[in-house]
Structure 1
Amino acid sequence: MPKVTFVQMDGAEHAVKVAAGTTVLEAAKANDLPMVGTCGGSMVCATCHVKICAADRARLPPPTEDEEDTLDLAFGVTADSRLGCQIELTDALEGIRIQLTSTM
């Protein structure tokens, strides 16, 4: 079970252990963290937009073209942006830090 840290917009940190194979969206919802995920992970709304620092991003597979297209709908997209519904948490991602963003 990888331990991951969610960082809220106000800087509050929440370290949680999740079952391997859980997506960032699922982990956030299971831990009552503020992530909307309106489309439930079908990659059409971008309301699970998160930011991952460069060091942690290098441990992730690159985003698909579909993910990049959906990210175009999100506010405040940067090179650190990813969709939480597309990041599957594994033991290899132990310690990853996930910055929550505003979806409003």
Structure 2
Amino acid sequence: MTKLTIVAFDGTRFDIEAEPGSTVMENAVRNSVPGIEAECGGACACATCHVYVDEAWTEKVGPPAPMEEDMLDFAFEVKPNSRLSCQIKVKADLDGLVVNVPERQA
């Protein structure tokens, strides 16, 4: 299992044990993390699972693919470390990953 920390906008930390191959969004929804709406269910067709990847993890997580970049145009307060959590696949080398949920979604 891979450990993830998702920090809600109010500062509440959700420490999650995630199955490799799942996505950060799937784990957020499964653990009722507030602010992750995931309206499209993970199809990269909305921007309601927007998160900020902790600066220490941005290089390891990598940049968004072109389709994800297009969807981020619809997200609220996009930053250089913005990603859609449905597009971040959980893998062993992301053990300890920290992401933050923005104040609101698109």
TM-score (norm 2): 0.93
Q: Give 1:82's aligned amino acid.
A: R
Gaps of 5+ in 2: none
Q: Give 1:27's aligned amino acid.
A: N
Equivalent residues, number: 104
- Residues 28-71 of structure 1 deviation map (CA, whole Å, 9 limit, x = unaligned): 01111121000111112100000002220111132111110100
- Residues 4-43 of structure 1 deviation map (CA, whole Å, 9 limit, x = unaligned): 1010101111111011111011000111112100011111
**1:39 and 1:94 mapped to 2: Cα distance?**
26
Q: Give 1:38's aligned amino acid.
A: E
TM-score (norm 1): 0.95
- Residues 52-103 of structure 1 deviation map (CA, whole Å, 9 limit, x = unaligned): 0222011113211111010000010000100010000111000010101221
1:20 corresponds to: 20
Secondary structure of the residue aligned to 2:4 is strand
Gaps of 5+ in 1: none
Fraction of identical pairs, as percent: 39
